């Protein structure tokens, strides 16, 4: 409950108290509304994006990670907020070396002196979830030991539970939260962060990417030492490379910027377009260079995955863009994301046309891949189209790589380098073997449907017997049609009653005239009484019809 209160006060401090009010958090926590009004005057004079960033930074590791996760979602957040979220850093003061060694010993079941020849007590780097120490194995290999912060798991799990509760409240109270399916986003973030807390996942990711480059000596991935690794400790090969933001050392080592930039792009495109499994956070701190323009990638806590279907849709999008086909572009966007039912298709088509025309007849060397990705996300954001998180992560990865390459070699065209990979995707798509596999998969799917049909029919028959089947028929304009039919039937009834009245009265009058006798029956004046009764009936029906308003 104290954590809830911390979050609510942070909402107020940064000018978002109205969100807490709309979610009902003040009533839920029995907080006085004056807290909101009092702090409102103290809101720092920053832009909305800056206040969002400061708000997340104040609330600690889970919320910083949430901001970094959200920075990949250009399809659901505006550009100014994305720009601020990209500045979020989880650099925090390191925890004590005594605590670090205690965790290592508890996890590995032995004292540090017995496990390692050397263990540097001063950490190389510290982040919100863990920190890294240098060391040397008994066998002499230099290593980096990543140690998780004490008690960080419990704190993050508690925050994730709170975030899910807040997302649930938001979807019930706020229309925009329901439209963007905030609960699903938090579930996805929670799954990603929980996986990041298990260092064995990071080790497996590193090995999987290392296997992509077994035959390529130009790419180095640190080796994982599993006998010294657990969920909270990850021991890997230490590679002393040069960080890309250290310009002087790059020059001293004689590293050719142009060659390295091209090799880096080729490395990332191979992961994305060939294997569909890629480094999700390739910022300059996670990329190093070795003499000979070797590319070193580290830190695989965040990775992206592209399924064969998603790669297929990407190739469809590329083909449609090349052929300037708006219909196919919209179809590709629809297959990559989820187009809402209430979308303005006319406006969507117009925006896609603008996107298509912008890149019409433009040489590949002059196209900015980052700008093209931003343009696509701008269209999806405007029309509330939700893209899969891995596709959004791919967009941020491409933008990050482009920013690095522009600094290393401004003349290198990333789009031009992507062209052969795009062609390979298209070849794979139309390869006879691939077509045959798709046909076989569809046949198997339909075979399963047919084989399940008898059981499905039995279940349906059972449901029908129990009277549990409900039909909903929705015919446009049905109410108007029924109203018109009601008017016609009322008018017809009116006409029949009037005709009957006329026939009865005429018959009685003619009969009495022919007989030349009085119309008295059992001393009752029949014509007069009949006239009165028929008149009353006529007036009653007429009143009913007029009262219904459907004459």
pLDDT the model gives residue 15: 85
Distance separating alpha carbons of residues 88 and 53, to the nearest angstrom: 7
Write down the catalytic residue from 281, 351, 390, 409: 281
- Cβ–Cβ under 8 Å, residues 67 and 52: yes
281 in active site: yes
**Beta strand residue intervals within 211-258, DSSP E:** 219-220, 233-237, 242-243
pLDDT the model gives residue 527: 61
Sequence-separated (6 or more) residues with CB below 8 Å from residue 367: 359, 413, 415
DSSP 366: G
Distance separating alpha carbons of residues 159 and 10, to the nearest angstrom: 14
Distance separating alpha carbons of residues 462 and 158, to the nearest angstrom: 46
Give the torsion sign (CA, 177, 181, 186, 189). Answer: negative
Distance separating alpha carbons of residues 506 and 522, to the nearest angstrom: 21
Distance separating alpha carbons of residues 91 and 125, to the nearest angstrom: 8
Q: How would you classify the pairing of strands 116-119 and 130-137? A: antiparallel
For the chain, the distance separating the N- and C-terminal CA atoms, rounded to the nearest angstrom, is 64
Provide the b/e sequence for 242-278 (b: ≥16 CB within 10 Å). Answer: bebeeeeebeeeebebeebbbbbbbbbbbbbbeeebb
- Cβ–Cβ under 8 Å, residues 134 and 144: yes
Q: Is 442 exposed, middle or buried (0-12, 13-18, 19+ CB in 10 A)?
A: exposed
200: enclosing H helix or E strand: helix 199-212
Distance separating alpha carbons of residues 493 and 193, to the nearest angstrom: 72
pLDDT the model gives residue 300: 93
Distance separating alpha carbons of residues 448 and 181, to the nearest angstrom: 32
Per-residue tens of pLDDT for the chain, all 551 residues: 888 888 888 888 888 888 888 888 877 776 666 555 555 545 556 888 889 999 998 898 899 988 888 887 766 788 788 888 888 876 678 999 999 999 999 999 999 999 999 999 999 988 889 999 999 999 999 999 999 999 899 999 999 999 999 999 888 888 877 777 788 889 888 988 998 999 999 999 999 999 999 999 999 999 999 999 999 999 999 999 998 878 888 888 889 999 999 999 999 989 988 899 999 888 888 999 999 999 999 999 889 898 888 877 776 776 676 667 788 878 888 887 767 777 888 888 888 888 777 776 666 566 666 677 777 777 887 887 877 777 778 877 888 888 888 888 888 877 778 777 767 777 776 777 777 777 777 677 777 777 777 877 877 777 777 666 665 555 555 566 666 666 666 666 666 766 666 676 666 666 666 655 555 544 556 566 666 766 776 677 666 666 655 55
CA 297 to chain centre: 27
DSSP 142: E
- Cβ–Cβ under 8 Å, residues 386 and 341: no
Distances (CA, A) of 229 to 109, 111, 219, 296, 445: 11, 14, 23, 21, 42
pTM above 0.85, yes or no: no
Residue 116: strand pairing partners: 137
Sequence-separated (6 or more) residues with CB below 8 Å from residue 321: 329, 356, 359
Classify 465 as helix, strand or coil. Answer: helix
Distance separating alpha carbons of residues 249 and 288, to the nearest angstrom: 11
């Amino acid at each position: 409950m104290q954590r809830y209160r911390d979050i609510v006060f942070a909402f107020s401090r940064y000018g978002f108290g109205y969100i807490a009010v709309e979610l009902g958090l003040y009533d839920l926590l029995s907080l006085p509304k004056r807290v909101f009004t009092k702090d409102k005057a103290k809101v720092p004079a920053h832009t909305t994006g800056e206040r969002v960033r400061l708000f997340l930074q104040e609330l600690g590791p889970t919320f910083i990670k949430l901001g970094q996760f959200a920075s990949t979602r250009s399809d659901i957040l505006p550009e100014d907020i994305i720009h601020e979220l990209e500045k979020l850093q989880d650099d925090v003061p390191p925890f004590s070396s005594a605590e670090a060694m205690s965790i290592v010993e508890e996890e590995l079941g032995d004292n540090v002196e017995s496990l390692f020849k050397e263990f540097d007590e001063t950490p190389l780097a510290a982040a919100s979830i863990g920190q890294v120490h240098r060391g040397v194995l008994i066998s002499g290999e230099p290593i980096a030991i990543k140690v998780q912060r004490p008690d960080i798991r419990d704190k993050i799990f508690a925050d994730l539970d709170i975030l899910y509760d807040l997302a649930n409240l938001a979807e019930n109270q706020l229309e925009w939260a329901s439209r963007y399916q905030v609960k699903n986003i938090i579930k996805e973030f929670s799954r990603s962060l929980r996986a990041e807390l298990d260092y064995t996942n990071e080790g497996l990711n590193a090995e999987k990417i290392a296997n992509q480059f077994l035959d390529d000596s130009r790419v180095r991935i640190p080796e994982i030492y599993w006998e010294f690794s657990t969920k909270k400790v990850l021991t890997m090969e230490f590679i002393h490379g040069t960080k890309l933001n250290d310009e002087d050392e790059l020059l001293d080592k004689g590293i050719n910027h142009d060659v390295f930039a091209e090799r880096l792009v080729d490395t990332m495109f191979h992961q994305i377009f060939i294997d569909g499994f890629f480094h999700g956070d390739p910022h300059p701190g996670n990329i190093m260079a070795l003499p000979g323009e070797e590319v070193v990638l580290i830190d695989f806590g965040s990775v992206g995955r592209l399924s064969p279907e998603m790669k297929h849709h990407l190739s469809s999008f590329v083909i449609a863009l090349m052929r300037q086909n708006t219909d196919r572009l919209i179809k590709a966007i629809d297959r990559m994301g989820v187009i809402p039912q209430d979308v303005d298709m006319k406006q969507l088509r117009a925006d896609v046309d603008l996107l298509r025309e912008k890149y019409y007849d433009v040489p590949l060397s002059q196209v900015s891949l980052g700008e093209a990705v931003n343009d696509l996300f701008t269209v999806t954001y405007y029309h509330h189209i939700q893209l899969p998180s891995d596709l959004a992560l791919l967009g941020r990865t491409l933008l990050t790589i482009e920013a690095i390459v522009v600094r290393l070699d401004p003349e290198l065209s990333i789009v031009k380098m992507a062209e052969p990979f795009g062609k390979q995707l298209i070849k794979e798509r139309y390869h006879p073997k691939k077509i045959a596999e798709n046909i076989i998969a569809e046949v198997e799917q339909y075979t399963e449907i047919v084989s399940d049909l008898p059981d499905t029919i039995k279940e349906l028959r059972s449901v029908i017997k129990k009277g549990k089947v409900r039909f909903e028929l929705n015919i446009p304009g049905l109410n108007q049609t029924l109203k018109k039919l009601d008017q016609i039937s009322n008018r017809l009834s009116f006409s029949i009653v009037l005709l009957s009245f006329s026939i009865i009265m005429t018959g009685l009058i003619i009969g009495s005239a022919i007989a030349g006798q009085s119309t008295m029956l059992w001393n009752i004046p029949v014509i007069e009484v009949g006239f009165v009764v028929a008149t009353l009936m006529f007036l009653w029906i007429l009143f009913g019809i007029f009262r219904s308003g459907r004459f």
